[in-house]
């Protein structure tokens, strides 16, 4: 993928998504021009028996010693808050927790580090369908509203703060409806699709894109994402509108759906082919 030799990739996080990426990098990486150079996890014991000891990174701060070209974060927004800017000192960064960017201080720090070290911040689109179309419409000035609804079984949520105490009041309960920026801190692992939408539509951003989180007792083995957008009214008062409905199979209680795992792998491959230019870029 690069004339200088294989792209050296480090993976931060070894949950379900991290395990899938590491497995693919070990099996398919060499033929694709990718070399896995480290795996870090907050609990190192989780890597025992599955990640070769030579690839286990004990301290995240020591990642520069592995000379990565790309560091892939699939852990938790806290990693981006605490270490994102430092990672950019050494490599391009693929963010798997874009909800972290709802924090304006974190977003500013990433942009400043990206510019200073001439490394790119890539953001995986995850379960967001129609990303390019949203971005094109927004860039043309034609996007008026964007609403993303994420519904799944309550066991699939990892909620914090006031949302952690929220309870279903029936078969289908709306836990939150409002600006995406207000949701991300309390549903950091369940709002990434909405955060990706906010980044895809910068004219609306985290304050203008509406996020809706729904607990649905019938969705025991899937995540459902509805994306609704509209344009500005034309001369006859009619508006362009699109509504997509995505059903993503998922293991009971899983945060990440099956199709999202595949989509993230494609994002990893895509950003290894893109130029390393400063800024935040969806892939």
pLDDT tens by residue, 44-76: 999 999 999 999 999 999 999 999 999 999 999
For helices 16-32 and 258-271, what crossing angle results, to 10°?
A: 40
Tell me, yes or no, whether 160 and 218 share the same domain: yes
Q: Which residues of the chain have pLDDT under 50?
A: 1-2
DSSP state of 276: -
Number of compact structural domains in the chain: 2
Query: Would you say 108 and 267 are in contact if contact means Cβ atoms under 8 Å apart?
Result: no
Tell me, yes or no, whether 141 and 106 share the same domain: no
Residue 177: domain span:
129-255
Give strand pairing partners of 148. 211, 227
Q: What is the pLDDT of residue 3?
A: 52
Tell me, yes or no, whether 100 and 184 share the same domain: no
Tell me, yes or no, whether 165 and 207 share the same domain: yes
Tell me, yes or no, whether 222 and 153 share the same domain: yes
Tell me, yes or no, whether 114 and 53 share the same domain: yes
Query: Would you say 226 and 245 are in contact if contact means Cβ atoms under 8 Å apart?
Result: yes
Tell me, yes or no, whether 21 and 86 share the same domain: yes
Q: What is the pLDDT of residue 256?
A: 76
Tell me, yes or no, whether 75 and 164 share the same domain: no
Token couple for 33: 């021009």
Q: What is the pLDDT of residue 260?
A: 80
CATH number reported for the structural domain that contains residue 239 in this entry? 3.30.360.10
Tell me, yes or no, whether 106 and 155 share the same domain: no
For 140-154, how does the pLDDT look when each residue is reduced to its tens digit (9 = 90+)? 999 999 999 999 999
Backbone angles phi, psi at 43, to 5 degrees: -105, 100
Tell me, yes or no, whether 219 and 262 share the same domain: no
201 in helix, strand or coil? coil
Tell me, yes or no, whether 118 and 224 share the same domain: no
Tell me, yes or no, whether 84 and 9 share the same domain: yes
What is the radius of gyration, based on Cα positions, of the chain? Answer: 19
CATH number reported for the structural domain that contains residue 89 in this entry? 3.40.50.720
Q: pTM for the complete prediction?
A: 0.93
Query: Would you say 169 and 108 are in contact if contact means Cβ atoms under 8 Å apart?
Result: no
Q: What is the pLDDT of residue 1?
A: 46
């Amino acid at each position: 993928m690069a004339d200088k030799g294989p792209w050296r990739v480090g993976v931060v996080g070894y949950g379900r998504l991290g395990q899938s990426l590491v497995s693919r990098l070990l099996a398919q990486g060499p033929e694709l021009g990718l070399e896995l150079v480290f795996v870090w996890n907050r609990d190192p014991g989780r890597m025992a028996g599955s990640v070769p000891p030579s690839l286990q990174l004990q301290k995240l701060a020591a990642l520069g010693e592995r000379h990565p070209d790309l560091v892939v974060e699939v852990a938790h927004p806290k990693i981006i808050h605490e270490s994102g800017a430092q990672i950019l000192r050494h490599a391009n960064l693929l963010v798997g927790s874009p909800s972290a960017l709802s924090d304006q201080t974190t977003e500013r720090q990433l942009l400043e580090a990206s510019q200073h070290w001439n490394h790119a911040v890539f953001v995986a689109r995850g379960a967001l369908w129609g990303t390019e179309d949203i971005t094109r419409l927004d860039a043309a000035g034609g996007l008026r509203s964007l609403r993303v609804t994420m519904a799944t079984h309550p066991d699939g949520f990892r909620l914090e703060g006031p949302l952690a105490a929220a309870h279903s009041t029936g078969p289908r309960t709306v836990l939150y409806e409002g600006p995406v920026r207000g949701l991300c801190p309390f549903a950091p692992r369940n709002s990434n699709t909405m955060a990706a939408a906010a980044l895809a539509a910068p004219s609306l951003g985290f304050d203008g894109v509406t996020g809706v989180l729904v607990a649905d007792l019938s969705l025991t083995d899937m995540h459902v994402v509805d994306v609704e957008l509209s344009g500005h009214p034309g001369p006859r008062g009619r508006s362009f509108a699109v509504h997509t409905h995505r059903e993503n199979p998922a293991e009971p209680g899983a945060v990440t759906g099956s199709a999202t795992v595949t989509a993230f792998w494609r994002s990893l491959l895509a950003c290894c082919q893109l130029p390393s230019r400063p800024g935040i870029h969806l892939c």
